[in-house]
Amino acid sequence: MVMKRDKNTNSIKWLIAGLLVWIATVPLLSGISESPVKAFGIILAWLALPVIYAVKNNDFEGIGITSKNLKNALAGMLAVSILYSVIRNLLIVFVPSSINFLAASALTVAELLKQGYFGNIAGPFSKLFPIMFFLTFLAAVSNELFYRGFLFTHLRQFVDWRLAIIISALMFGAYHYLNVGVSGFIMGIVVSIVSGWLMQKYNNIVAPALFHFIQYILTILVFYYLVI
């Protein structure tokens, strides 16, 4: 009983630390789509806390950094990514009015790339795309480690996992709202719900991280080549 109480106390302390990191980074979120430097700083902050937790508590598996269930996680992620991307991007291409709700930051990034910019970096698409690709991958990993690997997995120790998904989704949606407005809020919540489900099902951070990355890159490319 004492050991369980100590474990719960430790989890509460780390959860509070996560909420404090989230609150501290909120003022920095506005306009990160146009500022790779600011985005990279937030990426590092959101990567740092889960890694510090895992090292200090020797609990990498607790935040989904594990090789267990990897094959199933990859298969499930791929199926979900394809289905999600097909539905979202068909709506974007064939129902233009849906762009107001489905664009999120993908449209901003695609527009900047069309203009020959990624943040304050100028150049041709062949130069900008690898930079965007790398930062997007880092962002997807950091977002999922922080929101799903860390916040969601700690929240579900105290509330039902469905409620934990909703809470982490609202926090993720708020982050995107401050960045790109209403469409960011909507898509942030949708992506979070799918990512949370993947994390709950496979308990492997690879699934939500790759889903997050793949669907975002595909939508940027759809905007770049088919919409703008």
Domain extents in the chain: 2-227
Q: Which tens digit of pLDDT belongs to each residue from 3-36?
A: 556 678 899 999 999 999 998 887 666 555 556 6
| Nearest-angstrom CA–CA distance, 182 and 119 | 21
Question: What is the per-residue pLDDT for 8?
Answer: 82
Question: What is the per-residue pLDDT for 6?
Answer: 64
Closest to 136 in 3D by CA, of 64, 66, 219: 219
Question: What is the per-residue pLDDT for 175?
Answer: 83
Burial of 42 from C-beta contacts in 10 A (0-12 / 13-18 / 19+): buried
CB atoms within 10 A of CB 130: 11
* Angle (CA) 24 27 32, round 5°: 115
Under 8 Å between Cβ of 95 and 166: no
Q: At what angle do helices 125-144 and 206-222 cross, to 10 degrees?
A: 150
Question: What is the per-residue pLDDT for 106?
Answer: 96
Question: What is the per-residue pLDDT for 2?
Answer: 45
pLDDT < 70 stretches in the chain: 1-6, 27-37
